[in-house]
Structure 1
Amino acid sequence: MSTEMSDTTVKRPERTNATKQKLFDASMQLIGERGPAEVTVDEIAAAAGVSKGTVYYNFGSKTELISQLLEYGVSLLEQRLAPDESLPSLEALERMLSSTLDFFEEYPSFTQLLVSELWRTPSAWRDTLVMLRERLFLLAGNTLSRVAQEHPVREEVQPQAMVGLTLGATLIVGLDRQVFHPERSKAEALTALMTVMTGYLRD
């Protein structure tokens, strides 16, 4: 009996994560096509292959579903932003930017949703977005702090402003490549970003 309970305890998070991933993928595709206001819970459930009741049981409402999916998407992005302490700081920065561009390419609809809601006033998910923004700033800031420790940087540039520039530039370059310049290679986009980032260093 104890073995069965242990198995259930282990498997339940896996099933939950699998359901969230299906809901995330389905929601992002639908929302990317029509926007969050135009997508219904029925459509999300059907696209994810789950019942409408399952959606409400797990999330309670569409607003809460979108809020948690935003958090789930950012948690995936956080994995790409996680600093690599084994690399020199500039190499770690380049890897972080490269991984972030990969994420934007892998989840274009989520990226568009994140951008649109960050700049929407008011947004139904503003409190969630503020909290998620702080989490992303913290991770990116850790890598930039290492750069400042290992290299002379421009003291007139505030660290938080540099973090905002780093994330903002990566987001814009990634979206511009997806929407307007799909022929532009990731290597070209990354070179442009690193050119901007190295401007933070003192000569």
Structure 2
Amino acid sequence: MSPVPNARPKASARVKLLHTMMALDDHRSVQDHTVDELARSADVAKGSVYYHFGSKENLVREMLVHGATELQSLMDAIEQDQGSSPREAFRAQLRAACRFLGEFPSFTGLVAFALAQREGDSSSQLYEEKAAIVRLLAGRIERLEEAEAGPTTPGPTLEIAATAMLSAAVTLSIERLTVHPEWEIEACVDALLRLVTS
């Protein structure tokens, strides 16, 4: 029997678990879910959690890493589009990031938690992944500024702007999910752009 054309390959148990955790939306912290609940939600055997991650704590850390990697890949793919201005490319990246954060509320909540982590905390992986997302945004902001105003001097202001943008994007996504579902993504993107452009 030949494969069905354009059929998606079956996701591995590891990816199913990560995506299921990222998409949880029952207003509980991902850490509050039992391994049984997570396995049942992903439609995998409970042993898959331990086989692929060793523990629920490792699964939570890997979820943040996986989500951050997917977000970066998404933004990188949009950045490759040569047909738009730097501002429009950045707008498209922010739009895609807002959609991603809305699609994966548990990931968004974990990023919010990671924003509160300090260097050296027991959850150092969360701190490191948050720092990687901030660096990703800082690079995008820097490229936009260079395209519009010429070379900039990197420094703490760029990191502060990127942290503010990440915090605002996460907060807006949570507000859209919980309090203001009427807020359109485009309006949120406009608000985010006002943080870094004049």
TM-score, scaled relative to structure 2? 0.78
Paired residues of 2:31 and 2:60 also in contact (CA < 8 A): no
Question: How has the CA–CA distance of structure 1 residues 149 and 30 changed in structure 2, closer, same or farther, with 3 Å as cutoff?
Answer: closer
Greater displacement, 175-184 / 144-153: 144-153
Tell me which amino acid in the other structure corresponds to 1:176. E
**Matched residue, 2:197:** 198
Alpha-carbon distance between aligned partners in 1 of 2:174 and 2:70, rounded to the nearest angstrom? 18
Alignment of 1:18-37 (within 5 A): 18-28=12-22, 32-37=26-31
Q: Is 1:84 matched up with 2:79?
A: yes
Bigger Rg over Cα: 1
Q: Is 1:67 matched up with 2:66?
A: no
Greater displacement, 188-197 / 153-162: 153-162
Tell me the alpha carbon deviations over residues 124-146 of structure 1, each in whole angstroms, 9 at most, x when there is no partner.
86211122123212222222121
Shift of 1:115: 0.9
**Matched residue, 1:55:** 49
Alignment of 1:108-147 (within 5 A): 108-119=105-116, 126-147=123-144
Tell me the C-alpha RMSD between the 2 structures. 2.9
**Matched residue, 2:185:** 186
Shift of 1:27: 2.7
TM-score, scaled relative to structure 1? 0.76
Paired residues of 1:30 and 1:44 also in contact (CA < 8 A): no
Question: How has the CA–CA distance of structure 1 residues 193 and 19 changed in structure 2, closer, same or farther, with 3 Å as cutoff?
Answer: same
Alignment of 1:147-166 (within 5 A): 147-152=144-149, 158-166=157-165
Shift of 1:64: 1.0
Percent identity over the alignment? Answer: 26
Paired residues of 2:114 and 2:127 also in contact (CA < 8 A): no
Q: Which runs of 5+ in 2 are unaligned?
A: 1-8
Between structures 1 and 2, the one with greater helix share: 1
Tell me the alpha carbon deviations over residues 140-196 of structure 1, each in whole angstroms, 9 at most, x when there is no partner.
222212122122389798221222222222222222222221112122222222233
Alpha-carbon distance between aligned partners in 2 of 1:159 and 1:121, rounded to the nearest angstrom? 19
Shift of 1:103: 0.5
Question: How has the CA–CA distance of structure 1 residues 197 and 69 changed in structure 2, closer, same or farther, with 3 Å as cutoff?
Answer: same
Look up the SS of the partner of 2:12 in the other structure. Answer: helix
Question: How has the CA–CA distance of structure 1 residues 103 and 123 changed in structure 2, closer, same or farther, with 3 Å as cutoff?
Answer: farther
